[in-house]
Structure 1
């Protein structure tokens, strides 16, 4: 007689809904294509009022990951949003909001390159439409689970950011993006937390280190060997571990941490690389980006 136990059926993958929105010209089409390549079922320009019914149909069809692109092309877009979220919450679906951002000058350049008017431009200037859209989207941006500033990203970099955030299984783990930057070039607008490492001595003033970056071993050794560097990373790691539990409880799966020095070439780069190594060693999904390392 066989003593083998019947295989336990795998639990169905929990249903996830991503609302992809943001500024016109910030890369929604690229992000939507990336999600589709990752196996998400993507619907573009859907009226928000029918989204609860679409989610119900998706689950009946055993679609576990649904992404919906919403923007101001949809009439009465924002009038429908409160009702949409209320109806979704009533059936136990908590949407994740992915918001794409870009600076005004970048959006102007992108819109002009494709020779398309802005959806809110009307008879005014292109910049008028951008400013009107930014004001209209402000509340939704504030509620976003993940904001990605695409101003300095190319298509491949944006695709990589989306893949990092949405390519893995939903295992209630915080996914972290570390961004090194230089304060002289401005603070990343998509950061959830900004930390300043300008308290460390600057390798820029060491002649043999000046032409190098924090991605090289000599600069990394110099920065991490300074008093307070390792202790700072210890405290930052403790802080993130506390935040991670709260983020997951609140349904937020993503965190973008910006680490800044003066120019973004030496200290912030070395510290971001080391912090990323630490987080990956403890099993946290982590991606490290260096916004300003190639700038003069």
Structure 2
């Protein structure tokens, strides 16, 4: 759990602030981090909500809860809400933090203009009037909140990164990485983020002794690894992934699919996939290995012909 919370308690984050300041982005980011998020939630109903059991298969109290509310929430009165939150904070089993999202009026006006939406407090007036009115209404909550984030100069992705940094449950959590092998002759995988073509390596298919084997067998592995271009190319791909994977993680990418292809998907791509799977495990990742065409029948007509020396 994030360092903002005390251990051994049900963790609740109250997310509030000015309309257009980023509450929806924050709640969606928290959901991606494993939180249970509810928007436009009347705080007076928080007590009954907290009495509900955790979802099936999850330890009681293990899922942190984020409740979003703002001036549009039914029965909104800042001082009254603060009193309700204070009563909840007296419970020994709860740890409650209030996060307020602020933003300057000019930027909020720009955001509403871009989305072509009306400010909720200015349906028939200029957006600036609604923003000023809401800032007055929300003033007590901003002054009382435990944490304030000014999103005036933050893009959506920068706000997401800020929330991940503050509220990620496990700072050592990593992305879900899948490494797969496939055969180009049987189609390119539609869900791959990165595709590497291994067809520049020597093809074991044309060795009669290796043809019935796969990249998981030692003779094929030794044959592919002995290619004069193997070591240098694999090292460069490894360096590229070492650069990209942390950047994907920093952007909040939950899933990364890396695919290695050869012609039939049984020899070269399989061995390279196994090689990178081991390397990623050693690097601290927990990759899922998938061999799409490992059991496919070897067919000469699908393989590229052997290049004869000139």
TM-score (norm 2): 0.48
Structure whose CA Rg is larger? 2
TM-score (norm 1): 0.50
